[in-house]
């Protein structure tokens, strides 16, 4: 009888542990929340990692999607609520450096043909015109039929483009030519 009770109790405890909500992921000291609310949709953290350049950690990027996915092209092409968060963790990131790196990312994600989304890219880049400092957080939230809502430190700065722009933007991190391969893998939950 005691053994049956203990076995039942152990099973109950294991069920409770397995069904408990996943806590935030910590990357480079940044607590990346496990969920993100985009309009009326609760998005789940798919994965997060660190963008590094020249042996320096620059920002932590997180990808939020409705359902876990490991295919970058599927994320890029999906016309559904999604979000990418960027937590600036280096004082080396300036407005000029962020603008330059983002433009390089757009060139790579569009195979050098940005003509179709040039106006949207110009509009988006204006968000990086003001000072960027360590501790800033950018949320890039795609909402179908609305565009990409661009937040800086929780404040909506602009809404840009539609699905074509979202594809170019998310392609910076998730395309075949990502800003950083291991960051892409981590955002897609592959590592």
pLDDT at 2 over 70: no
Average pLDDT value for residue range 84-88: 97
Burial of 182 (C-beta count, 10 Å sphere; 0-12/13-18/19+): middle
155-160 β-sheet, strand order:
35-38, 41-53, 56-65, 82-88, 137-143, 147-152, 155-160
Report how far apart the first and last C-alpha atoms of the chain are (Å, whole number).
44
Classify domain 25-187 at the CATH topology level. Chalcone isomerase (3.50.70)
Whole-angstrom distance, CA of residue 82 vs CA of residue 60: 17
pLDDT digits (tens, 9 = 90+) for 114-165: 999 999 999 999 999 999 999 999 999 999 999 999 999 999 999 999 999 9
Q: What is the mean pLDDT of the chain?
A: 87
Whole-angstrom distance, CA of residue 101 vs CA of residue 93: 10
**pLDDT for residue 28:** 86
Question: Are the C-beta atoms of residues 94 and 130 closer than 8 Å to each other?
Answer: no
pLDDT digits (tens, 9 = 90+) for 50-59: 998 877 889 9
Residue 123 or residue 20, greater confidence: 123
Q: How many C-beta atoms lie closer than 10 Å to residue 128's C-beta?
A: 23
Residue 9 or residue 183, greater confidence: 183
Whole-angstrom distance, CA of residue 47 vs CA of residue 78: 17
Question: Residue 12's pLDDT band (boundaries 50, 70, 90)?
Answer: very low
Per domain, the residue ranges of the chain are 25-187
**pLDDT for residue 145:** 94
Residue 133 or residue 8, greater confidence: 133
**pLDDT for residue 82:** 97
**pLDDT for residue 138:** 97
**pLDDT for residue 161:** 95
Whole-angstrom distance, CA of residue 14 vs CA of residue 71: 31
């Amino acid at each position: 009888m005691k053994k049956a009770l203990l076995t039942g109790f152990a099973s109950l405890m294991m069920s409770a542990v397995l069904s408990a909500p996943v806590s935030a992921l910590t990357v480079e000291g940044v607590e990346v929340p496990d969920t993100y609310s985009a309009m009326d949709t609760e998005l789940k953290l798919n994965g997060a990692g660190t963008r590094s350049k020249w042996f320096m950690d620059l920002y932590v990027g997180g990808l939020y999607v409705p359902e876990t996915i490991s295919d970058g092209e599927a994320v890029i092409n999906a016309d559904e609520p999604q979000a990418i968060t960027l937590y600036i963790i280096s004082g080396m990131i300036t407005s000029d450096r962020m603008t330059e790196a983002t433009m390089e990312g757009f060139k790579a994600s569009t195979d050098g043909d940005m003509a179709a989304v040039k106006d949207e890219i110009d509009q988006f880049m204006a968000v990086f015109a003001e000072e960027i400092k360590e501790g800033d957080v950018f949320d890039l939230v795609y909402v179908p039929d609305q565009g990409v809502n661009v937040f800086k430190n929780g404040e909506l700065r602009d809404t840009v483009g539609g699905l074509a722009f979202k594809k170019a933007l998310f392609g910076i991190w998730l395309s075949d030519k990502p800003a950083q391969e291991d960051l892409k893998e981590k955002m897609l939950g592959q590592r």
